[in-house]
Amino acid sequence: MEWTSVVAIYALFWVMTAFVMLPFGIKTHDEAGLPKIPGQADSAPVGFRPGRHALRATVIAAASTTIYVANYVYGWVTVDALNIFPDPPSQR
């Protein structure tokens, strides 16, 4: 596998992980018991830390990419292993 392919796969895993992780660990002002600023959206998070979020996404994406590339190299799970529909019986 080319290194550029690994970088592209890592980027895809990173973006996917970052978006999936967004709702986890977030509290709104109502949940935290803090007053809201006039005009603030009800769903605005309290104390969102994008650096911490990016670090978590980086670690998870690196682990996912490592597993994906290792599976590609060693062939642990192949397309044939994922075939849930058996071959149709041959008609003679």
Give per-10-residue mean pLDDT for the chain (92 aa): 96 97 90 90 89 96 98 91 81 71
pLDDT of residue 88: 79
What 8-state DSSP symbol labels residue 45?
B
User: Is the pTM here over 0.85, yes or no?
Assistant: no
Helix ranges (DSSP H) in 1-92: 3-21, 29-32, 50-74
Contact 43, 28 (CB under 8 A): yes
pLDDT digits (tens, 9 = 90+) for 20-46: 999 898 899 899 999 998 999 988 899
Q: Is 28 helix (H, G, I), strand (E, B) or coil?
A: strand
